[in-house]
Amino acid sequence: MSAHTHDGPKPLTVYPNDAQFGKASPGKIGMWLFLATDGMSFSGFLISYAVLRSSRAWPNPSVALGGVGLSGFMTFLLICSSVSMVLAIDACKRKSRQAMLNWLAFTIFGGVAFLSIQAFEYHHLMHEMGMSFNTYAHGTSLFASTFFSITGFHGLHVLSGVIYLITMFVHAYRGDFDNGDYNQLEIAGLFWHFVDLVWILVFTFVYLL
- Give Cα 181 distance to the centre of its chain: 23
Which class is domain 26-55+71-208?
mainly alpha
Per domain, the residue ranges of the chain are 26-55+71-208
Distance CA 70, CA 114 (A): 10
The answer to whether residue 113 scores a pLDDT higher than 70 is yes
Tens-digit pLDDT profile for residues 33-89: 989 998 999 999 889 888 887 767 777 777 777 777 888 899 999 999 999 999 999
Tens-digit pLDDT profile for residues 165-189: 999 999 999 988 888 888 889 999 9
Determine the average pLDDT of the residues in 92-120.
93
